[in-house]
Amino acid sequence: MTALPLRLDGKTALVTGAGSGIGRAIAICFARAGARVAALDIVDAAAGETTSEIEKLGADAVAVPCDVTNQREVDDAFALVKRRNGSIDILVNSAGIAHVGTIEHTTEEDFDRVYAVNVKGVYNCLRAGIAAMKEQPSGGAILNIASVASSIGIPDRFAYSMSKGAVLTMTFSVARDYVHHRIRCNCVAPARIHTPFVDGFLARSYPGRESEMFEQLSKTQPIGRMGRPEEVAELALFLCSDAAAFITGSNYAIDGGFVTLKM
């Protein structure tokens, strides 16, 4: 039997943090699979670049500037997408920020900033997404981007780990509460993925030693390299497609063996 390609034809996928990194890769991947994509990002120009790339593929996309920490902006953005496309069938919560430091090196401002984006931002989008999907007989699929830091201790990642642990448990809660509304909710837990954040972190922290430190960080994963945003996007496509219709309340590691092979 030949496996059929994963398709999202006729579905609207709303992706937060779609202007760069994992979110951008997911938005483009979903468009290639036939979805109409709403690319949300706090940086309007970045969202526009993503939608321009999608439109070059001949697919439908709209860029929506949105600060996920602001509930009114989120509600307005989701309402706009639903008016435009008639439904919100898929929600991917990819918007997030990182922070490096132990609790002693995490200021109150650092903590509040990480919490606002990575926890409150996901809450705001889940709240708006569920309200839209409950109105649809077909329900919907939600995917949250968590992290290996959700479930294991990683040095110097106090605030980030806190926030991604919350993403994991919000995933379980939403999956349980809305399973009878035909709403599936899962998350993926990446390890180090080569995104613009990694390049920026290396440039700031190790000027002149970027290549050396990139290689060192890559080798912390047993597979010997960092992941690519496109690899996360392929897993996201499966989990948001009808091929995963029997999957909800699950957390999928995509980490080059980081958790199971190093513990």
3-state helix, strand, coil in the chain (%, to 5): 50, 15, 35
Tell me the one-letter amino acid at 64: V
Task: Say whether 115 is catalytic.
Answer: no
Number of Cβ atoms within 10 Å of the Cβ of 4: 7
Catalytic residue among 160, 178, 206, 252: 160
Length of the chain: 263
The helix-helix angle for 21-32 and 229-240 (nearest 10°) equals 50
The C-alpha angle 150, 93, 145, rounded to 5 degrees, equals: 30
**Per-residue tokens: 13:** 């996928």
Q: What DSSP element (H or E) covers 145?
A: strand 140-145
Structure tokens at 195: 């995104």
Q: Give the residue numbers annotated as catalytic, written as ranges.
A: 160
